Amino acid sequence: MLGENIRILRKQNGYSQETLAEQIHVVRQTVSKWEKGISVPDAEMLEKMAEFFQVSVSDLLGKKSINDGSSEDINEIAQQLAILNDRLAQQSRSRKRIIRAVLIGITAVIIIYLFVFFMLMSDLRVSPKTKKTVELHCSLNGESYLYGITYDEQSMLIIESGGDMWIADHVQVEQYDDTNILIAQIEDYFSDRGGTCQVIHKDK
């Protein structure tokens, strides 16, 4: 109510926020905050604005005029300002709680993401001691084929693989990341077509 009254009186008198601020010796941002209800003027400033706009303080606060200058009027102003300040303080605390909760949530998400990321990265780091190689020597219709797989012995994940492109094309090796599954797929392919495969572990 107070902020709206200040805005209405300012416009009715043809003043900009900057002009009003100069007249009552404050900065434009202060007037803007009053009109938006972000802050409220003190009792002395209320009296100064009421005098400037030629209205009573009670009218400025949105109440019917009572005996101007009386102790009752001063008490009413003080009570009104106290209520306004309490409301603004509550709103400010509420905004701060929301902002704090959002920041905590964002921080938690970032921490979880980083934790998962580093866990995955640690899993992908392969120790030379667990890095193994296996070769598949296969034959079909009188033709011989060779395919090698380097993998992590702990996770059995394929690190790299390569060999005869004929095997890569027919078995579609890029679909598999588990060593045992890929070996089984290659063996099954040759076995189903009357061929053979011998698995040789190079590190044993």
Q: What are 126-132's contacts with CB under 8 Å, separation 24+?
A: 126/152, 126/159, 130/154, 131/159, 132/201, 132/202, 132/203
Q: What is the CATH number of the domain that holds 35?
A: 1.10.260.40
In a domain, 111, yes or no: no
pLDDT digits (tens, 9 = 90+) for 138-159: 999 999 999 999 998 888 899 8
Strand partners of residue 198:
137
| Largest Cα–Cα separation, the chain | 116
Examine residue 120 and state whether it is found in any structural domain, yes or no: no
Confidence of residue 192 (pLDDT cuts 50, 70, 90): very high
Contacts of 38 (CB under 8 A, 6+ apart): 88
Looking at 97, 116, 142, which one is the last position of a domain? 97
Has residue 122 been placed in a domain?
Answer: no
Q: What is the Cα gyration radius of the chain?
A: 40
72-93 mean pLDDT:
67
**Strand-strand pairing, 131-140 and 196-201:** antiparallel
Query: Which domain, by its residues, includes 74?
Result: 2-97
| pTM, full prediction | 0.39
Tell me the per-residue pLDDT of 173-190, one tens digit each, with 9 for 90 and over. 989 999 999 999 999 999
**CA separation for the pair 99, 95 (Å, rounded):** 6
